């Protein structure tokens, strides 16, 4: 705890539209949805039918190949739609809220008296297991594996990310309860906190090891923290979860209810009143953004941050692991001779645009690609934004040629998509590196299981 781990490589993208630490007022929306696509590797099988009455905590669907992993409704109401995409793939399971707080009752329990198996069973029954994910692969944890440690990142360093100190204040008891539950699963709990923040909530926790981190994004990524504290090797497993999810786990054991409440931050250059909002998992964002976004031009709504989030419509739903909604300009315009302009308004890590003259400036970035897809040309770009002892470019090449041995040797076990998001951001050749990494991970899972 005394030692501060300094992350030197990385990048803070200076994005316009940071939210103030105030709570905004917005009604809860009518519709909520659970999106199976948020959970990698899950093949959903419906447990409820359209028209069924559900309560908060009622199982909506489960994983076809691991039926014990269940996904539950965040609110009480009626299952109104199962939206499907190509080849009838389930995209959204939509619940219309009836506005009441009716919830499935689960037994409260004293965690200290439960075995690991009982804890797992309880978490699975209440639909909270999907929030415990594992490295390698960044998928839902497998309860049969024994993790060497449990990691929680106590801060989010992504652009415009929520401040957990603010989000978690008042939830200290539930957080501690959640930690106690986690300790039944794995006794070795680590939390990475930001050295620049007060981290009051985390400092008062019992039974965890705190690590101080300092430096630019991706210092707040749990994968980077694991790499610096206890790097993953072949055959090792680490479990991770996010702080608000730990709170929900704590509440299940103290209150006996599935708690879908989340505090999300609404930010981005196109939002009028930026701030924090109390809402629930899977909430439709329409009430958040109603009369609250700038009118000119097309907008891009992102559930999550601009690096790793999911694009959603203006009536889309908050993702399962997200506590942020970002709104930026879509940027679907043609720019005359854009590559030849001085570019005072363009954010670039390189100094190829004159924007390096004003380093403090915040940018209103849009979703334009600013160029076309090319093969790898410029070298050494990725290394500067990935604070790991990994050669990213060679890893990506090994994924593209599907060389499993090389992927393993070059460190695919340590990476999740969010860790290479910055590489993708800076890439001159506009490669889709997160997608490439996921392709590699999927191949590993397929070949090694």
Given the rule CB under 8 A, which of 252-260, 278-286, 312-320, 360-368 is the region that contacts another protein?
Answer: 360-368
Phi, psi of 385 (to 5 degrees): -120, 10
Residues 161-190 interacting with another protein (rule: CB under 8 A): none
Please report whether residue 411 would count as binding another protein according to CB under 8 A: yes
Please report whether residue 13 would count as binding another protein according to CB under 8 A: yes
Give kind and range of the element (H or E) at residue 443.
Answer: helix 433-448
The residue count for binding another protein (CB under 8 A) is 75
Phi, psi of 125 (to 5 degrees): -65, -35
Residues 298-317 interacting with another protein (rule: CB under 8 A): 300, 302, 306-311
- Taking the C-alpha atoms of residue 407 and residue 420, their distance in angstroms, rounded to an integer, is 15
Please report whether residue 270 would count as binding another protein according to CB under 8 A: no
Among 333, 357, 361, 402, binds another protein (CB under 8 A): 333
CA atoms within 13 A on the CB side of 160: 36
Given the rule CB under 8 A, which of 194-202, 243-251, 273-281, 372-380 is the region that contacts another protein?
Answer: 372-380
Encode burial over 94-105: b for 16+ CB neighbours within 10 A, e otherwise. Answer: bbbbeeeebbbe
Asked if residues 381 and 423 have their Cβ atoms less than 8 Å apart, the reply is yes
Q: How far is the CB of 133 from another protein (least distance, A)?
A: 19
Among 188, 286, 348, 439, binds another protein (CB under 8 A): 348
Given the rule CB under 8 A, which of 217-225, 259-267, 272-280, 328-336 is the region that contacts another protein?
Answer: 328-336
Please report whether residue 238 would count as binding another protein according to CB under 8 A: no
| Segments of 165-303 assigned E as strands | 189-194, 209-214, 238-241, 261-267, 275-280, 299-303
Encode burial over 420-433: b for 16+ CB neighbours within 10 A, e otherwise. Answer: bbbbbbbbbeebeb
Q: How far is the CB of 238 from another protein (least distance, A)?
A: 12
Please report whether residue 374 would count as binding another protein according to CB under 8 A: yes
Among 260, 320, 427, 444, binds another protein (CB under 8 A): 427
Please report whether residue 147 would count as binding another protein according to CB under 8 A: no
Task: Kindly state the DSSP code that residue 7 receives in the 8-state scheme.
Answer: P
Residues 40-99 interacting with another protein (rule: CB under 8 A): none
Q: How far is the CB of 117 from another protein (least distance, A)?
A: 27
Identity of the residue, 151 or 425, whose beta carbon is nearer to another protein in the bound complex: 425
List residues bridging with 300 in a β-sheet.
328
Among 80, 349, 404, 443, binds another protein (CB under 8 A): 349
Identity of the residue, 169 or 298, whose beta carbon is nearer to another protein in the bound complex: 298
Taking phi over 0 as left and psi of -120 to 50 as alpha, with beta for the rest, 426 belongs to: alpha
């Amino acid at each position: 705890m005394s030692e501060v781990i300094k992350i030197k490589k990385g990048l803070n993208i200076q994005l316009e539209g940071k939210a103030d630490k105030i709570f905004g007022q917005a009604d809860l929306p009518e519709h909520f949805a659970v999106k199976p696509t948020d959970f990698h590797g899950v093949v959903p099988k419906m447990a409820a039918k359209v028209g069924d009455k559900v309560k908060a905590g009622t199982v909506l669907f489960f994983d076809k190949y691991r039926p014990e992993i269940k996904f539950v409704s965040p609110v009480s109401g009626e299952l109104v739609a199962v939206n499907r995409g190509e080849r009838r793939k389930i995209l959204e399971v939509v619940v219309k809220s009836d506005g009441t707080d009716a919830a499935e009752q689960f037994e409260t329990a004293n965690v200290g008296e439960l075995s690991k198996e009982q804890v797992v069973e309880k978490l699975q029954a209440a639909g909270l297991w999907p929030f415990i994910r594992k490295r390698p692969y960044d998928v839902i944890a497998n309860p049969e594996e024994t993790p060497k440690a449990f990691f929680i990142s106590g801060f989010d360093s992504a652009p415009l990310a929520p401040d957990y100190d603010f989000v978690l204040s008042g939830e200290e008891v539930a957080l501690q309860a959640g930690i106690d539950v986690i300790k039944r699963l794995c006794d070795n709990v680590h939390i990475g906190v930001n050295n620049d923040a007060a981290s009051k909530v985390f400092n008062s926790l019992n039974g965890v090891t705190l690590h101080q981190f300092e430096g630019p994004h991706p210092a707040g990524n749990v994968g980077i923290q694991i790499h610096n504290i206890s790097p993953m090797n072949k055959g090792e497993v680490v479990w991770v979860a996010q702080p608000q999810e730990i709170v929900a786990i704590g509440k299940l054991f103290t209150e006996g209810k599935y708690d879908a409440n989340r505090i999300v931050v609404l930010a981005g250059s196109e939002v009028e009143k930026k701030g924090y909002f109390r809402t629930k998992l899977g909430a439709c964002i329409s009430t958040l953004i109603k009369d609250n976004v700038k009118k000119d031009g097309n907008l891009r709504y992102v559930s999550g941050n601009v690096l790793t989030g999911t694009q959603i419509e203006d009536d889309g739903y908050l993702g399962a692991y997200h506590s942020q909604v970002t709104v930026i300009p879509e940027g679907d315009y043609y720019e005359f001779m854009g590559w030849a302009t001085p570019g005072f308004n363009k954010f670039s890590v390189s100094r190829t645009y004159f924007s390096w003259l004003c380093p403090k400036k915040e940018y209103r970035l849009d979703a334009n690609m600013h160029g076309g897809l090319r093969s790898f040309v410029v070298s050494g770009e990725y290394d500067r934004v990935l604070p790991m002892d990994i050669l990213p470019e060679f890893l990506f090449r090994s994924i593209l040629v599907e060389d499993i041995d090389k992927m393993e040797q070059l460190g695919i076990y340590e990476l999740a998509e969010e860790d290479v998001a910055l590489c993708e951001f800076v890439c001159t050749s506009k490669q889709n590196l997160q997608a490439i990494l996921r392709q590699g991970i999927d191949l590993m899972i397929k070949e090694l299981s």
